């Protein structure tokens, strides 16, 4: 697996660390446990990390030097894709490994992977996680570099298979990029059902210092304009009863300061600043407490290719009020596990959240339905489907890939 621009073991909630990191870590670990040995290659961004580390049985993280061993902005990384590919090949040659398949994540890895498979003659499949042209359509003021747009438009036609998180993404690949649907496999992301499950709400609240009488709305994720938090801050301004209501916002490192300042300014402008608290990033392992403490999880994004946070919330038994965009439209069952509302519209967000806050039995019943719905989203199920896809592609190319066979 190639995960060039961000390590699957990086702390979550930063500018570049979110769903993709969780996906690569969880899937690599599951595949390892199924007997498929996985090396995940990432660009070295620190001088003092070991070159190779086994992070789960059968799954290793390999750091490749490409550019300086420090943080490099994603925007500057395209120039390093050749060095990265060369570093992966050098490791492979040194270790005498013959890889059976390359699975790339995000377009930068896709570019590096494209170079590698030309020599290795093995199948190449990729997940884009986001696509430049799709982002531009979702939010007009997004900017994308031409090299990304060009690379994606080229790559989508070179890959042996694209893994899309939803049917919706497969449709976009056809409509925008003219990719025939048969070249796109739809396999959703998953959720750790052990970690994210209903638990005692009072205990979760007292562990996190949240008053039992508080009405808690929760937003979790990278803090960037595409996440649409401004829409939800405006929704708070539309609510008729804000007594004891707090929106907790989890995520965003020091590089999110400008966006946090913008959100605070909007909150002050409409007089809801006392109802919004930014908690910064929270370790993934500590998140269950916050989901379990919440009354409603909100996801007002302009676009989500999948939206792991919604799935984690539903698995925890909490109703979700989300924009009807991307993956959210297929994971959230409108009226049954939460509500889907038109994007960019504060009013329906306010209406649905108030409906839920007023009605405890409704929250409980949507929460229970969410838990049931999420049972099919385990990482084990996701990884089995991926494994079948790997085997199918390898078979087509006559390569020896087989689960359990190494
Ligand atoms: N996350 C976390 N701590 C944070 C913020 C986010 O563990 O402070 C995790 C969150 O639980 C989820 C992922 O980061 O698993 C975000 O994935 P999602 O698909 O919702 O958004 P993306 O980052 O892919 O846009």
Q: Which residues contact 311 (CB under 8 A, 6 or more apart)?
A: 189, 190, 191, 331, 374, 377
Residue among 66, 59, 62 nearest 80 (CA)? 66
Q: Is 19 touching ligand 1 by the criterion CB < 6 Å?
A: yes
- Mean local confidence (pLDDT), 64-87: 96
> How far does the centroid of ligand 1 lie from the alpha carbon of residue 224, in Å?
12
Counts for the chain of helices (H) and strands (E), in that order: 15, 13
Q: Is 45 touching ligand 1 by the criterion CB < 6 Å?
A: no
> How far does the centroid of ligand 1 lie from the alpha carbon of residue 277, in Å?
18
Q: Which atom of ligand 1 is nearest to the CA of 251?
A: 8
Q: Is residue 398 scored above 90 in pLDDT?
A: no
For residue 14, what pLDDT is reported? 82
- Mean local confidence (pLDDT), 280-297: 97
Residue of minimum CA distance from atom 5 in ligand 1: 13
- What pairs with residue 56 in β-bridges? 59
Q: Is residue 140 scored above 90 in pLDDT?
A: no
Q: Is 113 touching ligand 1 by the criterion CB < 6 Å?
A: no
Q: Which CATH number, 1.10.10.10, 3.40.50.11540, 3.40.50.2000, 3.40.1390.40, labels domain 201-376?
A: 3.40.50.2000
Q: Is residue 144 scored above 60 in pLDDT?
A: yes
Q: In angstroms, rounded to a whole number, what is the distance separating the alpha carbons of residues 298 and 232?
A: 8
For residue 399, what pLDDT is reported? 66
> How far does the centroid of ligand 1 lie from the alpha carbon of residue 211, in Å?
25
For residue 288, what pLDDT is reported? 98
Q: What pLDDT band is residue 397 in, cutting at 50, 70 and 90? A: confident
For 352-384, the pLDDT digits (tens) are 999 999 999 999 999 999 999 999 999 999 999
Q: Is 12 touching ligand 1 by the criterion CB < 6 Å?
A: yes
Would you list the domain boundaries of the chain? 19-190+378-404, 201-376
Q: Is the torsion defined by CA of 224, 309, 303, 322 positive or negative? A: negative
pTM, rounded to two decimals = 0.94
Q: Is 250 touching ligand 1 by the criterion CB < 6 Å?
A: yes
> How far does the centroid of ligand 1 lie from the alpha carbon of residue 310, in Å?
10
For all residues of the chain together, what is the average pLDDT? 95
Pairing of strands 184-186, 215-220: unpaired
Q: Is 251 touching ligand 1 by the criterion CB < 6 Å?
A: yes
- Mean local confidence (pLDDT), 195-204: 97
For residue 138, what pLDDT is reported? 85
Q: Is 309 touching ligand 1 by the criterion CB < 6 Å?
A: yes
- Mean local confidence (pLDDT), 131-155: 91
Q: What pLDDT band is residue 405 in, cutting at 50, 70 and 90? A: very low
Q: In this structure, how many other beta carbons lie within 10 angstroms of the beta carbon of residue 147?
A: 14
For residue 78, what pLDDT is reported? 97
Q: Is 389 touching ligand 1 by the criterion CB < 6 Å?
A: no
CATH of domain 19-190+378-404: 3.40.50.2000
Residue of minimum CA distance from atom 24 in ligand 1: 19
> How far does the centroid of ligand 1 lie from the alpha carbon of residue 288, in Å?
12
> How far does the centroid of ligand 1 lie from the alpha carbon of residue 120, in Å?
34
> How far does the centroid of ligand 1 lie from the alpha carbon of residue 50, in Å?
26
- Quote the tokens at residue 361: 């039995």
> How far does the centroid of ligand 1 lie from the alpha carbon of residue 252, in Å?
10
Select the more confidently predicted residue: 404 or 164.
164
Q: Is 353 touching ligand 1 by the criterion CB < 6 Å?
A: no
Q: In angstroms, rounded to a whole number, what is the distance separating the alpha carbons of residues 35 and 384?
A: 11
For 209-224, the pLDDT digits (tens) are 999 999 999 999 999 9
Q: Is 220 touching ligand 1 by the criterion CB < 6 Å?
A: yes
Q: Is residue 15 scored above 60 in pLDDT?
A: yes
Q: Which atom of ligand 1 is nearest to the CA of 22?
A: 15
For residue 400, what pLDDT is reported? 61
Strands (E), 324-376: 338-341
**Dihedrals phi, psi of 200, to nearest 5 degrees:** -60, 120
- Mean local confidence (pLDDT), 80-109: 98
Q: What pLDDT band is residue 120 in, cutting at 50, 70 and 90? A: very high
Q: Which atom of ligand 1 is nearest to the CA of 299?
A: 20
Please tell me if the domain spanning 19-190+378-404 has the same topology as the one spanning 201-376: yes
Mutational test site, ligand 1, from 14, 18, 106, 224, max ligand atoms within 8 Å of CB? 18
**Rg of the Cα trace of the chain?**
21
Mutational test site, ligand 1, from 10, 16, 19, max ligand atoms within 8 Å of CB? 19
- Mean local confidence (pLDDT), 76-91: 98
> How far does the centroid of ligand 1 lie from the alpha carbon of residue 363, in Å?
23
Strands (E), 221-283: 245-250, 276-280
Region class of 156: left (phi > 0), else alpha (psi between -120 and 50), else beta: alpha
Q: Is 18 touching ligand 1 by the criterion CB < 6 Å?
A: yes
């Amino acid at each position: 697996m190639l995960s060039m621009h961000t390590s699957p073991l990086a702390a979550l909630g930063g500018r570049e660390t979110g769903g993709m990191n969780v996906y690569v870590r969880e899937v690599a670990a599951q595949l390892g446990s199924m007997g498929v040995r996985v090396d995940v290659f990432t660009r070295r961004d620190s001088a003092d990390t070991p070159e190779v580390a086994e992070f789960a049985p059968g799954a290793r993280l390999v750091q490749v030097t490409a550019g300086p061993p420090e943080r490099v902005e994603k925007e500057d990384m395209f120039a390093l894709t050749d060095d990265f590919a060369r570093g992966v090949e050098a490791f492979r040659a040194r270790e005498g490994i013959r890889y059976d398949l390359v699975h790339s994540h995000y377009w930068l890895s896709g570019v590096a992977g494209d170079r590698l498979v030309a020599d290795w003659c093995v199948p190449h499949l990729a997940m884009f996680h986001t696509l430049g042209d799709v982002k531009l359509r979702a939010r007009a003021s997004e900017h994308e570099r031409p090299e990304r747009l060009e690379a994606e438009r080229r790559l989508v036609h070179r890959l042996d298979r694209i893994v899309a998180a939803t049917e919706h993404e497969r449709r976009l690949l056809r409509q925008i990029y003219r990719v025939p649907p048969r070249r796109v496999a739809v396999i959703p992301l998953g959720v750790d059902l052990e970690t994210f499950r209903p638990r005692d709400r009072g205990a979760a609240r007292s562990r996190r210092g949240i008053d039992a009488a508080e009405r808690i709305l929760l937003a979790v994720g990278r803090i960037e304009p595409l996440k649409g938090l401004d829409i939800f801050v405006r929704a708070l301004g539309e609510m008729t009863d804000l007594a004891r209501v707090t929106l907790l916002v989890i995520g965003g490192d020091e590089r999110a300061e400008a966006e946090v300042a913008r959100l605070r300014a909007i909150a002050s402008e409409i007089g809801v600043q006392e109802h919004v608290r930014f908690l910064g990033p929270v370790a993934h392992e500590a998140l269950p407490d916050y989901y379990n403490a919440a009354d409603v999880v909100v996801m007002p994004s302009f676009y989500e290719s999948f939206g792991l946070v919604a799935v984690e919330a539903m698995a925890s038994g909490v109703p979700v009020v989300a924009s009807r965009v991307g993956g959210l439209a297929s994971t959230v069952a409108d009226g049954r596990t939460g509500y889907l509302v038109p994007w960019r519209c504060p009013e329906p967000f306010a209406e649905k959240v108030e409906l839920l806050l007023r009605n405890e039995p409704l929250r409980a019943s949507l929460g229970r339905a969410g838990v049931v719905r999420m049972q099919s989203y385990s990482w084990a199920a996701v990884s089995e489907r991926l494994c079948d896809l790997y085997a199918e592609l390898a078979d087509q190319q006559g390569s020896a890939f087989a689960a359990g066979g190494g």
